[in-house]
Chain A
Amino acid sequence: MKPLFTAALLTVLATSAMAQDTVRIGTEGAYAPYNFLNDAGELDGFEIEVGNELCARANLTCEWVTNDWDSIIPNLTGGNYDAIMAGMSITPERDEVIDFTQNYSPPAASAYVALSDDADIESGVIAAQTNTIQAGHVAESGATLLEFATYDETIAAVRSGEADAVFADRDALVPTVEESSGELTFAGDDVPLGGGVGMGLRESDDELQAAFDAAIASMKEDGTLNAMIVKWFGEDATVYE
Chain B
Amino acid sequence: MFDFCAEPDTLEGLTWLACYLTTGKHFAFYNAFGTVLMLLAVTAPAALAFGFAGATAARSALPPLRWLGKGYIAVVRGVPDIAFFLFFVIALDQGLEWLRHHALCPDWPDAVRQGTDFIVCPQAKLPLGTAPQWVHELYGFATAVFTFAIVFGAFAANVLFGAMQAVPRSQIETAEAYGMSRRQAFRRIVVPQMWLYALPGLGNLWMILIKATPLLFLLGVEDVVYWARELGAAKTARFSDYPHPDWRMWYFLALLIFYLAFTRVSEIVIGRLTSRLSHGQATAGGEKLRKAAA
A68 proximity list for chain B (CB < 8 A): 220
A121 within 8 A of B: no
Instruction: Please report which residues of chain B, range 203-223, place their CB below 8 angstroms from some CB of chain A when the two chains form the complex.
Output: 220, 222
A22 proximity list for chain B (CB < 8 A): 129-130
A156 proximity list for chain B (CB < 8 A): 233-234, 246, 248
B125 within 8 A of A: yes
A207 within 8 A of B: no
Cβ-defined contact, A179 with B27, below 8 A: no
Cβ-defined contact, B119 with A179, below 8 A: no
Chain A interface residue count, Cβ-Cβ cutoff 8 angstroms: 43
A159 to B233, CA, bound (A): 12
A78 proximity list for chain B (CB < 8 A): 90, 93-94, 118
A155 to B234, CA, bound (A): 9
B239 within 8 A of A: yes
B176 within 8 A of A: no
A78 to B94, CA, bound (A): 8
Cβ-defined contact, B239 with A77, below 8 A: no
B115 within 8 A of A: yes
A10 within 8 A of B: no
User: CB < 8 Å: which of B25, B97, B117, B238 contacts A203?
Assistant: B117
Chain B interface residue count, Cβ-Cβ cutoff 8 angstroms: 40
A100 to B273, CA, bound (A): 59
Instruction: Please report which residues of chain B, range 75-100, place their CB below 8 angstroms from some CB of chain A when the two chains form the complex.
Output: 90, 93-94, 97
User: CB < 8 Å: which of B23, B233, B241 contacts A152?
Assistant: B233
B241 proximity list for chain A (CB < 8 A): 39
A38 to B241, CA, bound (A): 9
A22 to B128, CA, bound (A): 10
B122 proximity list for chain A (CB < 8 A): 19-20
A230 to B117, CA, bound (A): 36
Chain B residue at minimum C-beta to C-beta distance from A179: B236
B243 within 8 A of A: yes
Cβ-defined contact, B130 with A21, below 8 A: yes
B246 proximity list for chain A (CB < 8 A): 152, 156, 159
A79 to B122, CA, bound (A): 10
Cβ-defined contact, A82 with B129, below 8 A: yes
Q: Which of A24, A68, A79 has the most CB of B within 10 A?
A: A79
User: CB < 8 Å: which of B110, B125, B242, B243 contacts A179?
Assistant: B243
User: CB < 8 Å: which of B25, B28, B117, B120 contacts A77?
Assistant: B117
A178 to B222, CA, bound (A): 30
Interface of chain B: mostly helix, strand, loop or mixed = loop
A33 within 8 A of B: yes
**Shortest distance in angstroms between B186's beta carbon and chain A's nearest beta carbon?**
44
B24 within 8 A of A: yes
Cβ-defined contact, A175 with B97, below 8 A: no
User: CB < 8 Å: which of A39, A82, A152, A178 contacts B25?
Assistant: A39
A40 proximity list for chain B (CB < 8 A): 23-25
B133 proximity list for chain A (CB < 8 A): 63, 65
Chain A residue at minimum C-beta to C-beta distance from B122: A20
**Shortest distance in angstroms between B95's beta carbon and chain A's nearest beta carbon?**
12
Instruction: Please report which residues of chain B, range 110-147, place their CB below 8 angstroms from some CB of chain A when the two chains form the complex.
Output: 110, 114-120, 122, 125, 129-130, 133, 136
Binding site for A on B (CB under 8 A): 23-28, 90, 93-94, 97, 110, 114-120, 122, 125, 129-130, 133, 136, 220, 222, 229-230, 233-234, 236-243, 246, 248
Taking A39-B240, A66-B222, A152-B233 as given, write out 17 further A-B residue pairs in contact, using a Cβ cutoff of 8 Å, ordered by the A residue number: A21-B129, A22-B129, A32-B236, A39-B241, A41-B24, A41-B28, A42-B24, A65-B136, A78-B90, A78-B93, A78-B118, A82-B129, A152-B234, A155-B234, A178-B238, A202-B119, A204-B119
Binding site for B on A (CB under 8 A): 19-22, 24, 29-30, 32-33, 36-42, 44-45, 63, 65-68, 75, 77-80, 82, 97, 150, 152-153, 155-156, 159, 175-176, 178-179, 202-204
Report, nearest first, the 10 A-B pairs whose CB atoms are least far apart: A40-B24, A152-B233, A179-B236, A41-B25, A41-B28, A41-B24, A39-B23, A77-B116, A32-B239, A22-B130
What are 30 A-B contacts with C-beta separation under 8 Å?
A19-B122, A21-B129, A24-B136, A30-B230, A38-B25, A39-B23, A39-B241, A41-B23, A42-B24, A45-B239, A65-B133, A65-B136, A66-B222, A68-B220, A77-B116, A78-B90, A78-B94, A79-B119, A82-B129, A97-B116, A156-B234, A159-B246, A175-B236, A175-B238, A175-B239, A179-B236, A179-B238, A203-B114, A204-B110, A204-B119
